[in-house]
Structure 1
Amino acid sequence: MEAPPPRVKTEKIWSNEIPQRAEPAEPDQSLVTNCSQEMESLRLHLQALQRQ
């Protein structure tokens, strides 16, 4: 069996790939809306199932 690559190497790659942002990015509003609608329809579906 081959030895796994040294951990230091992967940590170095990760720190290089992730950009350091000074401030958090604004959430994509359409994504937020879609998610809320999805949650709402799931909740209604669950209620309908519980009533059966």
Structure 2
Amino acid sequence: CEQAAKMVAMKSATDNAGDLIDELELIMNNARQSAITQEISEIVSGAAAV
């Protein structure tokens, strides 16, 4: 019974870690996309000024 409880706890911890990884990947992708959008805006603004 103790072994089963340990397995359930480890499964829960593994699932939680996977969920956290997914959430952090979304945050990182959003930050990267924002940086790319900002850079494109600066390039377009610079080209329009010429």
When the two structures are superposed, what TM-score results if normalisation uses the length of structure 1?
Answer: 0.48
Q: Higher helix fraction: Structure 1 or Structure 2?
A: 2
